Amino acid sequence: MNARLNNSLLCLYLLIILGFIFSPIIASFIFSFNADRFPSLPLGEFSVKWYEAVNEDADVWAGFYRTLTVGVSVAMVSTFLGFCAAYTDYRYSFTGKSVYLALALLPPTVPLIIMGLAMLFFLSRVDLSGGTHSVIISHVVMCTPFAMALIRLRLSQMDPDLESAAWNLGASQWGAMRFVIFPFCLPAIVSSLLITMAVSFDEFAVAWFVSGLNETLPVRILSFLQGQVSPRINAIGSVVFMLSMMLVIAANIILMRNSSKKTTEE
């Protein structure tokens, strides 16, 4: 009886937490379909006019395409770099390896404002600031550690004899990489692509510093807010939220499907 009570209290607690986290997003989602100019209760009539307004805004579309370009490029480059870093860690031991690992995993711990400022200073020094490529470079710096962490985790689940077994069966180092390491890491690589894309998609602070006139979507949203509080933001917010959630959920499904495979093996 007591355990049951505990259990339901715990459930309640969980629900409150989830409500606390998601209510702003849900509110934004609901108000994006509200015809009223200002978000207030009771709700006005249902309307998709804010979505239409966003759809007609060329700046929003330009920002979206830019965000997409950045996201896809960042996903590919940082996953590649993350894979290389993780494989280096897996395969070799060398002096200063712990320093190498710490440095490789450091960027997410730097406050975004500092990171943005530093990136701006650095990129303008080398004459690379103010473009889409500046955002790509900065986001690669921020996303590579995520990619590395994911792929490192996968490599740590690999039977250490697997690569040697491939060599033993006549695979060269490249052959073993292509036919054994890569296929083994594939689930982690795919989820790394999705996660890094999601991180880049959402990232605002650093992009705001380095993007100059080439605003990404999150930066565009801020300029909306600065001019006027428009329900259009709710519409954009909902779309962006859906997109990045989809990426994260897809990544999780891929990872989970794989780990459940792993447990049936044991």
Partner 1 sequence: MSESLVEFRNVSKHFDDYTAVDNLNLSIEQGEFIALMGSSGCGKTTSLRMLAGFEEPSEGEVLLRGKCINHLKSYQRNTPLVWQTLALFPFLSVVENVEFGLRMQKVAKPERRKRALKWLDNLAIAEFAERRVDQLSGGQRQRVALARTLVTEPEILLLDEPLSALDSNMVVHMQGVLTELQRELGITFIYVTHSQSEAFAMADRVVIMNEGRVQQIGSPKDLYQRPNNHFVAGFVGKNNILGGQYKSEHNGIWVLAGNDGDYKIKASEAEPADRSAATDFAISADRVFVSRTVNSDFDNQFLCRLKGEEFVGSAVVLYLETESGEQIISLVTQAQMEVLGDLKKGDYYAHWQSDHCHIIKP
Q: Write out the residues near partner 1 by the rule CB under 8 A.
A: 159, 161-162, 164-172, 175, 179-180, 183-184, 186, 261, 264-265
Nearest-approach distance from CB 5 to partner 1, in angstroms: 42
Rounded to 5, what percent of the chain is helix, strand, coil?
80, 0, 20
Q: Which is nearer to partner 1, 13 or 179 (CB)?
A: 179
Toward partner 1, which CB reaches closer, 22 or 167?
Answer: 167
Dihedral angle of Cα 192, 193, 194, 196, to the nearest 10 degrees: 80
State the nearest-atom distance from the C-beta of 147 to partner 1, in Å. 20
Tokens 């999705």 locate to 194
- Cα dist from 11 to 1, 20, 30, 196, 263, whole Å: 15, 14, 25, 32, 27
Contact 176, 194 (CB under 8 A): no
Pairwise CA distance, residues 142 & 233, whole Å? 26
* SS3 call for 34: strand
Which is closer to partner 1, CB of 137 or CB of 166? 166
- Find, among 196, 200, 115, 219, the residue nearest to 149 by Cα: 196
Instruction: Closer to partner 1 by CB, 141 or 185: give it.
Output: 185
Burial class, 230, CB count within 10 angstroms (exposed 0-12 / middle 13-18 / buried 19+): middle
Separation of alpha carbons 137 and 12, rounded Å: 44
Residue number, 19 or 183, with CB nearest to partner 1: 183
Least distance to partner 1, CB of residue 266, Å: 9
**CB 190 to partner 1: min, Å:** 13
Cβ proximity to partner 1: between 230 and 258 the closer is 258
Which of residues 46 and 94 has its CB atom nearest to partner 1 in the complex?
Answer: 94
Per the CB < 8 A criterion, the answer to whether 109 and 203 are in contact is no
Minimum CB distance to partner 1, residue 256 (Å): 17
